[in-house]
Structure 1
């Protein structure tokens, strides 16, 4: 299976940097050396990104981007074209039929799925379960691919991966080898790691199908304190999520992020829990799930935002084997 979404044959026939009209060989070499290995990578980049990576002038960067977009015909598409593209979307099963049903089959590719909730609500547990299940073949609810795990709070536990792998009768050593873990020590490091994922795909040839960021907002929340720093924090967070979103769309992979919450003491009715990150995180996450503890050790997942699915909720359990139905 190709890592990238299917594109028309006419696009594939010309999808090389050498075919860029009006762009010289020296510019092509600079783009390739900086990791912009094909037309799509150039077309979806910003002039600033190309300037920073290659040292090009703004005029040359804009010219390269414009030429790539023209060749890929990145204009308007009909609704039927978008519908056909959506048929390439894949899903990772969670292990719980009820949770999968809530999500129309599981955690889908080409977008970001965010879970938020208090500590112990199951966010990281779902991440560990997905890290194993993503390696299953498609006929068993997986994507048959490599997993990238950006760990910001030292929550990744190989022991937990082994438990879930054993429950699925998988070789735990092989499962662990297929999970590429990086510990992020601050927000800048976290952003850099996300940007390096494309190198794993293009330069190292890894079939990355799931990216986990646990947690998305921890470093940003700790480093940017007070209202005076809010604008700077949100700008960086927005840029970080745009990188993740672009990866999901370009390479047909699933991005799963966990998010922290805060309490709103001035709220007298309803649940006072609110996700960190404000509108930036909300707008960049295609699917948002609120997790909370239920009765007798159960967990409750509430789908609070989706582009096409209705709101709803379901119960599930965290067991030795991962995520399961009650």
Structure 2
């Protein structure tokens, strides 16, 4: 495992020893442990080739999808699932146990104290956070800031981990990371080395990138996955009402994959979304718009943030939907150093 980096008290990025990373971040059972339960090493390799690297991830697949892997019969799949169940506790737990388990949730700073307070401490791991809004509302700027703040140590409200960035619109700019890293007192080159980037051109490419990501997350300490934007390629590759049902089904499968990644590896998933005109928005709303993706996307995202433009470089973030946060909104500012508190 490659060592991860963290900032010391002076803010400079340092290397963290792999042993410490293992102690802090090992939250899943490796698929290799199935061998000790009597599963053939060749069958374990087939699971890895299919993008399954942990027992936790294995239990998130249906037996139907597992039998679709070449070389795995129904009998083998049954045996593999039984072995995985012995290694994991997949049944009910008490509310107290769940509360204890949720102490592993990490909240990553957005760079703005006011925005962090609105979000209950920052962007959460173990769930999907969606930000939607018009162009220039700050969605991608927040993504760039999170690329840096995620690499801060926990005591500095960071995630002490690496970042994976899937770009569907071609808006990621590595040179934008440099001034943000300098603002946090971090070495820009080291920060960029801890970001893995992929440009997706079709919805199938986007999904396949997620499948390949499991291998990296099983080996290295990742804490954030960004998909910017989640819907763009689906709107291009599917057209008209005739393909809408298929589009929504494929979108649901990809969002399910994002949810599983968040829970399997304890990472925060930050996705951006576009907006569409809402003719039924009402005559009293001057410019009615709603997030794209329909109910499928609405149910998949745990926390939904609506971003809109304010005065000058100011932007407004409103809690649109969240299971544990009250409704509210805060103003933040986009600067050369990333997202910051708004200045009067």
Counterpart contact for 1:209–1:252, Cα < 8 Å? yes
Q: List aligned pairs for 1:154-193, cutoff 5 A.
A: 154-193=170-209
Q: 1:217 aligns with which of 231, 248, 263?
A: 231
Instruction: State the shift of 1:312 in Å.
Output: 0.9
Matched, 1:320 2:336: yes
Corresponding residue for 1:113? 129
Q: List aligned pairs for 1:118-137, cutoff 5 A.
A: 118-137=134-153
Seen in structure 2, the aligned counterparts of structure 1 residues 302 and 236 have a Cα distance that, compared at 3 Å, is same
Q: 1:91 aligns with which of 107, 119, 123?
A: 107
Seen in structure 2, the aligned counterparts of structure 1 residues 14 and 323 have a Cα distance that, compared at 3 Å, is closer
Corresponding residue for 1:17? 34
CA deviation vs aligned residue, 1:163-206 (integer Å, no higher than 9, x gap): 2112222111111111111000110000111111111123xx22
Instruction: State the shift of 1:70 in Å.
Output: 4.8
Q: TM (normalized to structure 1)? A: 0.91
Of 23-32 and 68-77, deviating more is 23-32
Where 2:271 maps in the other structure, the secondary structure is: strand
Whole-angstrom CA distance in 2 between matches of 1:13 and 1:191: 22
Whole-angstrom CA distance in 2 between matches of 1:31 and 1:14: 8
Q: TM (normalized to structure 2)? A: 0.86
Corresponding residue for 1:78? 94
Counterpart contact for 1:42–1:64, Cα < 8 Å? no
Whole-angstrom CA distance in 1 between matches of 2:186 and 2:44: 44
Whole-angstrom CA distance in 2 between matches of 1:318 and 1:118: 15
Corresponding residue for 2:265? 251
Seen in structure 2, the aligned counterparts of structure 1 residues 54 and 42 have a Cα distance that, compared at 3 Å, is farther
Runs of 5+ unmatched residues, structure 2? 1-20
Whole-angstrom CA distance in 1 between matches of 2:86 and 2:261: 21
Seen in structure 2, the aligned counterparts of structure 1 residues 29 and 225 have a Cα distance that, compared at 3 Å, is closer
Whole-angstrom CA distance in 1 between matches of 2:200 and 2:27: 33
Corresponding residue for 1:236? 250
Whole-angstrom CA distance in 1 between matches of 2:193 and 2:30: 35
Counterpart contact for 2:34–2:80, Cα < 8 Å? no
Whole-angstrom CA distance in 1 between matches of 2:332 and 2:169: 24
Instruction: State the shift of 1:59 in Å.
Output: 4.4
Whole-angstrom CA distance in 1 between matches of 2:42 and 2:27: 30
Instruction: State the shift of 1:264 in Å.
Output: 1.0
Paired residues in the alignment total 319
Of 252-261 and 29-38, deviating more is 29-38
Counterpart contact for 1:43–1:66, Cα < 8 Å? no
Q: How large is the RMSD of aligned CA atoms in angstroms? A: 2.2
Seen in structure 2, the aligned counterparts of structure 1 residues 182 and 265 have a Cα distance that, compared at 3 Å, is same
Seen in structure 2, the aligned counterparts of structure 1 residues 233 and 33 have a Cα distance that, compared at 3 Å, is closer
Counterpart contact for 2:53–2:214, Cα < 8 Å? no
CA deviation vs aligned residue, 1:211-265 (integer Å, no higher than 9, x gap): 0000000000111111111111111111111111111111111110000000112
Corresponding residue for 2:284? 269
Whole-angstrom CA distance in 2 between matches of 1:13 and 1:155: 35
Whole-angstrom CA distance in 1 between matches of 2:51 and 2:314: 45
Corresponding residue for 1:301? 317
Whole-angstrom CA distance in 2 between matches of 1:29 and 1:198: 14
Seen in structure 2, the aligned counterparts of structure 1 residues 221 and 243 have a Cα distance that, compared at 3 Å, is same
